[in-house]
Structure 1
Amino acid sequence: MAPIGRICKEDILESQSSFAKYDISTGSAEIKTAPPSKGIITNGGKPGMPSTSGVHELLECPVCMSSMFPPIHQCPNGHTLCSNCKARVHNCCPTCRYELGNIRCLALEKVAESLELPCRYQSLGCHDIFPYYSKLKHEQHCRFRPYDCPYAGSECSVSGDIPLLVSHLKDDHKVDMHDGCTFNHRYVKSNPQEVENATWMLTVFNCFGRQFCLHFEAFQLGMAPVYMAFLRFMGDDDEAKKFCYSLEVGANGRKLTWQGVPRSIRDSHRKVRDSQDGLIIQRNMALFFSGGDRQELKLRVTGRIWKEQ
């Protein structure tokens, strides 16, 4: 018999007859009807080791299908859900429609503390095992997690390892590929008064067996229109710090130079741009370097990449 309590009148969510199985190797979730239990299930093919798959299902929120972390809430009938979804269902249990109140499921939180799970990027090369409550934090910084597409000026949703992204940039974004550690690029814009959101990424350099993305952008720095060139490394930050690069632009006996460390593509191009970590050229100086009637932008940026000893 259900405990005495108020039943929610709102028709918030239909009761679900099955849990979603959460694939811990990929982080995806899909609705499947759990098969009936047949005796003892072994874990990893080792007899005598009970599977924790049933516990994993108990720790899945029936609303968002994600793993639950404290505080885990429950209704008077014992149905659980995560704290984020508690607000989404307006404090009404999605299974039995009883009012949730503020009951914590301390037993389930304690069970979660005893679990150890593989990283969701196990298939990509991470073979570490983590306590349940440490797994999510690790996955946010796991060195095996996929990289986002580094192409600037578009909302590209492609992600993957470096070889996949290099092919993607070449085939889908038509980015030029260049072998070598020195470069000399010319940027031309017919109307330099229009600087807002003008974005180029002209080249990916294959240098020292690694790849680097050269960016050149025009944007507003406060009220001042500026141009900026910078380099990003296709890999993690600890590897990026092994390299240095220099940039130079100039004409009419003057020049601007920049030397820095390439930023990892883990940092978005917008984050690097907003941090001003690169060669910045004020528009008046850019037009001076362009020569002529100052009505057209013509900048030549040269640079090189080297490896720190």
Structure 2
Amino acid sequence: METGGVDSSMLSLNMMEEDEHPHQFSSISKLHNNSQTTTSVHDLLECPVCTNSMYPPIHQCHNGHTLCSTCKTRVHNRCPTCRQELGDIRCLALEKIAESLEFPCRYISLGCSEIFPYYTKLKHETICTFRPYTCPYAGSDCSFLGNIPYLVAHLRDDHGVDMHSGSTFNHRYVKSNPMEVENATWMLTVFHCFGKYFCLHFEAFQLEMAPVYMAFLRFLGDDREAKNYSYSLEVGGNGRKLTFEGSPRSIRESHKKVKDSHDGLIIYRNMALFFSGGDTKKLKLRVTGKIWKEQQNSQGVAS
């Protein structure tokens, strides 16, 4: 299935790697005017230990050497430049200078054209819609980061997730020993429809001491856009069925948060066995579903 193509505009894992310190950023673009002065200020605001830009409180030693608050504990309160004791001296002048600076968002290469004051830039970057996505594949400690097309290729090539085109699906889950329900998770399929991507998850876990199975859909994109879509899930057998209808959750939310919210189709083991024909030796569940796009009213709100 086509995944939208992976071209040279997609970012590699190395390019998209998150900073070690969440309160810092490692790259500042020069201002258009007086670039030489801006470069000098940039150098002053760079921590000599981690080389990231510094935010208040900016510390300094008695000789005027500065460093960020995180690295102050790293160097055991000793100046990394002159080895003098740091104490609790703040470099208020440098903090004040930083207030007058403006810089573009760090995700400018991904499409964000916003420019922010030095001290508000970081807050924007934590919610920027252009920031990279983490891998939504559950059950592994995957550190991948990237945009959506690159993410889809990663799920297909590195995790072996099935790809499917279309807004309807029919999955069959078979387990040889249904009397044992361990904490387990599977990403069954990535769906491509309406020009977007969705991923179907299936869980097995204990809910208040009762063994259950849970299926839910996630949207490969931001939460605001996820609300434009809805989906339904159905499982049944022996003349009975369970249905669920809701909106897919964005992959911006952690897999654990979605699972713990129980926002999906939950099937207790006894009911699952009933759907399987009462066979206690083999569980056979067929999960069907549909994805659709909500109609927008004149205010652009899904209805």
Instruction: State the partner residue of 1:192.
Output: 178
Instruction: State the partner residue of 1:141.
Output: 127
Residues 28 and 42, structure 2, Cα contact 8 Å, conserved in 1 = no
Q: Secondary structure at the match of 2:173?
A: strand
Instruction: State the partner residue of 1:166.
Output: 152
* Unaligned stretches of 5+ residues in structure 2: 1-24, 296-303
What one-letter code is carried by the residue in structure 2 that aligns with 1:113? E
Residues 31 and 103, structure 2, Cα contact 8 Å, conserved in 1 = no
- Partners of 1:54 and 1:22 in 2: CA distance: 16
Instruction: State the partner residue of 2:165.
Output: 179
Instruction: State the partner residue of 2:93.
Output: 107
- Partners of 1:49 and 1:293 in 2: CA distance: 74
Residues 22 and 56, structure 1, Cα contact 8 Å, conserved in 2 = no
The yes-or-no answer on 1:86 pairing with 2:103 is no
Q: Secondary structure at the match of 1:117?
A: strand
Residues 43 and 51, structure 1, Cα contact 8 Å, conserved in 2 = no
Instruction: State the partner residue of 1:116.
Output: 102
The yes-or-no answer on 1:275 pairing with 2:261 is yes
The yes-or-no answer on 1:237 pairing with 2:223 is yes
Deviation of residue 49 (structure 1)?
Answer: 5.3
Residues 232 and 244, structure 2, Cα contact 8 Å, conserved in 1 = yes
TM-score of the pair, normalised by structure 2 = 0.85
- Partners of 1:164 and 1:83 in 2: CA distance: 35
The yes-or-no answer on 1:291 pairing with 2:295 is no
- Partners of 1:228 and 1:94 in 2: CA distance: 53
Cα deviation code 1:8-36 (max 9, x no counterpart): xxxxxxxxxxxxx94336xxxxxxxxxxx
Say which of 15, 20, 27 aligns to 1:23. 27
What one-letter code is carried by the residue in structure 2 that aligns with 1:59? L
- Partners of 1:234 and 1:130 in 2: CA distance: 27
Q: Which is worse superposed, 91-100 or 288-297?
A: 288-297
Instruction: State the partner residue of 1:249.
Output: 235
What one-letter code is carried by the residue in structure 2 that aligns with 1:156? C
Deviation of residue 252 (structure 1)?
Answer: 1.5
Instruction: State the partner residue of 2:7.
Output: none
Say which of 44, 51, 62 aligns to 1:58. 44
- Partners of 1:170 and 1:87 in 2: CA distance: 42
Instruction: State the partner residue of 1:32.
Output: none
- Partners of 2:205 and 2:250 in 1: CA distance: 21
Say which of 233, 247, 250 aligns to 1:264. 250
Q: Which is worse superposed, 212-221 or 48-57?
A: 48-57
Tell which has more relative contact order, 1 or 2 (C-alpha 8 A, sep 6+). 2
Flag the structure with larger Rg. Answer: 1
- Partners of 2:74 and 2:35 in 1: CA distance: 38
Instruction: State the partner residue of 2:81.
Output: 95
Deviation of residue 196 (structure 1)?
Answer: 2.3
Residues 176 and 203, structure 1, Cα contact 8 Å, conserved in 2 = yes
* Unaligned stretches of 5+ residues in structure 1: 1-20, 26-41
Deviation of residue 292 (structure 1)?
Answer: 4.0
Aligned residues: 271
Q: Secondary structure at the match of 1:214?
A: strand
Higher strand share: 1
Residues 179 and 280, structure 2, Cα contact 8 Å, conserved in 1 = no
- Partners of 2:73 and 2:262 in 1: CA distance: 40
The root-mean-square deviation of aligned C-alpha atoms, in Å, is: 1.8
Deviation of residue 231 (structure 1)?
Answer: 0.3
Instruction: State the partner residue of 2:5.
Output: none
Deviation of residue 288 (structure 1)?
Answer: 1.7
